[in-house]
Structure 1
Amino acid sequence: MPRILMERSGEMEVFARVVQDGGFSAAARNLDITPSAVSKLIARLEARLGARLLVRTTRALTLTEEGEAYHHAALKILQELNDADQQAAGRAVRGRLRINAAVPFGTMFVAPAMPEFIARNPDLIVDLSFTDGIVDLVAEKTDVAIRMGNLPDSGLIARKLGQSRRVVCAAPSYLARREPPVVPADLEHHDCLTFNFRRARPSWPFLVDGREIAQPVTGRIVVNNGETMKQMALAGAGIARVGFFHVADEIATGRLVPLLEEHNPGDLELVHAIYVGGGPLPHRVRAFIEHMISTLNGSPLLG
């Protein structure tokens, strides 16, 4: 029989810890082994694979192309092993669960879901933080974050919770002052509400003559979160483009009016739960993610 699989999984866990902690010494401290032992394990792993996984300098540690591929695969395998262990162990959910979420999603979905979650897990303390800024999960000691939109490549593990289409809309008070746009190009003559964070798009996508275009938009108000954008739209400050879930009630009651729907490209805003991989996933994190998936399943706002 080839070398025992548990020995290979041990190499994976050490490798993942080195990548997560950014160095051999830090990984050794967290694993409670010596730096030389970490170095030997990584060297043995590279020798077995016949590929260099890490490049070490006096200032930084960098993954090679082979290292990137192996790291992603190792995280998945380690998570599956941890899942099997926890499913068999059936331990209780307890401790403090630190959750970070975007403001609109957090207030509309996470907060209302907490009473039932706490009732089912009485030994758990939930610590909620809602912000549209991107937090560093490790630096902020956050167990799980809920993020909207496309995710950048990283060592974090993502679990999809749902999705929502986007909608362009404005308040009747704004449309009473300004002629409603008929085609996307009309937005050049309108005040469009935009986001000021770096991942924000400088243009909005639309379908024109069967193909997708990027329509540049400008405006005199930029904001840093979806809730403020909705309030600005309701106040008649301009035209907004947001996730449908965020403005569904306002559209249903006529407080906001959808615009250019015939040109809507149908692009989706994905919702993911994000957490740090490379080690055992705490039961409290797993329980929260499963609770949110169950809560959001079938929601007319996320489909």
Structure 2
Amino acid sequence: MDKLEAMNALVKVIASGSYAEAARRLGLTRSAVSKAVMELEETLGARLLDRTTRRVTPTEAGLAYYERCLAILAQVEETEAQISRLHDEPKGTLKVNAPMSFGTLYLGDAVADFMIRYGDLKVELILTDRFIDPLEEGADVTVRIGTPADSSLIARRITPARVVLVASPGYIEKHGAPQTPADLVDHRCLSYGHTTSLQRWHLTENGEPISVSIGACMASNNGDALRDAAVKGIGIAMLPMFIVGKDIAAGRLEIVLPHNCPADLTIHALYAPNRYLAAKSRVFIDFLVDRFGKRPPWDDWGSNG
């Protein structure tokens, strides 16, 4: 029996005046309670209880130790209650990491509405296109687009993200629209990544995945930069609807190869596999699922695409 359990046993013995009654309240055997008290006496080098055949009473040292035990056990109980409330009530600081484009276009507004609902929470929203380790960065919730690669984290699906190929009307007028995926190798393409060399796009044909070479003229690790280039007629871009939907609706971009679009991406919320998920993280993830999961707002922009 550990020290706190032994203290609790002594408190129950003194409060009830009986080993048997203390054992009943604790759900232990009488011998276990007696042994715990004797171990305390041996550790302290002092007799804590006077024992008779009819009753157990505390010695002067036992009464002093009993009062200290009451205070210690009360502090432990209050500490446990405070920690439980942190998990039951959304309080403290919520640290969120997310990609730049999705963060600026949709997540920032969502976080503001979330904070209106949960006024006691502080939020640290870090937007970056750099791949981070959420555990090392101390993020409570990490929003990622695509298939999570880190099996040490738990991933909860928020919503799908439709991906399309787009080009500006000016580009199509000048270069024509590709008629088949194989035509992309002869077009100026805008590639997500760090290099224009040896690029391939993974599309679909009759519902089956295909991989085609592209003629990349620009590469960037930021979707907004690629969208800006596409709007100015630089080339064809493969981007999620949440980035290009408004441009499609406004006529600044057009979908090309609509029957060969890539498979949808999925937006996930990642968090550490703790046994108890803190309330601040739980309610934020629930909020994102409720806001984006039923019908993503960016799908409305491209409903005619």
Q: Which TM-score applies when normalising by structure 2?
A: 0.65
Residue in structure 1 matched with residue 37 of structure 2 by the alignment? none
Is 1:190 aligned with 2:187? yes
- Structure 1's unaligned 5+ residue stretches are 1-84
Q: 2 CA distance for matches of 1:210 and 1:174? A: 28
Tell me: CA distance 1:239–1:206, structure 2 relative to 1, closer, same or farther (3 Å).
same
Is 1:116 aligned with 2:113? yes
Matched residue count: 215
Is 1:277 aligned with 2:304? no
Q: 2 CA distance for matches of 1:291 and 1:209? A: 36
Is 1:290 aligned with 2:286? yes
Q: Percent identity?
A: 32
Assess if the C-alpha contact under 8 Å between 2:94 and 2:123 holds in 1: yes
Assess if the C-alpha contact under 8 Å between 2:163 and 2:240 holds in 1: yes
Shift of 1:208: 4.2
Assess if the C-alpha contact under 8 Å between 2:159 and 2:296 holds in 1: no
Assess if the C-alpha contact under 8 Å between 1:181 and 1:187 holds in 2: yes
Tell me: CA distance 1:181–1:131, structure 2 relative to 1, closer, same or farther (3 Å).
same
Q: 1 CA distance for matches of 2:151 and 2:157? A: 16
Q: 2 CA distance for matches of 1:90 and 1:247? A: 39
Shift of 1:116: 2.1
Shift of 1:237: 1.5
Residue in structure 1 matched with residue 264 of structure 2 by the alignment? 268
Assess if the C-alpha contact under 8 Å between 2:86 and 2:278 holds in 1: no
Tell me: CA distance 1:124–1:209, structure 2 relative to 1, closer, same or farther (3 Å).
closer
What secondary structure is seen at the aligned counterpart in 2 of 1:229? helix
Residue in structure 1 matched with residue 123 of structure 2 by the alignment? 126
Shift of 1:101: 0.8
Say which structure, 1 or 2, has more relative contact order (CA 8 Å, 6+ apart).
1
Q: 2 CA distance for matches of 1:173 and 1:181? A: 14
Q: Which TM-score applies when normalising by structure 1?
A: 0.65
Once the two structures are superposed, the pairs formed by residues 93-104 of structure 1 within 5 Å of their partners are 93-104=90-101
Assess if the C-alpha contact under 8 Å between 1:194 and 1:218 holds in 2: no
- Structure 2's unaligned 5+ residue stretches are 1-82, 301-305
Q: 1 CA distance for matches of 2:237 and 2:126? A: 25
Assess if the C-alpha contact under 8 Å between 1:162 and 1:302 holds in 2: no
Question: After alignment, is 218-227 or 293-302 more displaced?
Answer: 293-302
Assess if the C-alpha contact under 8 Å between 2:204 and 2:260 holds in 1: yes
Query: Partner amino acid for 1:166?
Result: V
Shift of 1:103: 1.6
Residue in structure 1 matched with residue 157 of structure 2 by the alignment? 160
Assess if the C-alpha contact under 8 Å between 1:206 and 1:214 holds in 2: yes
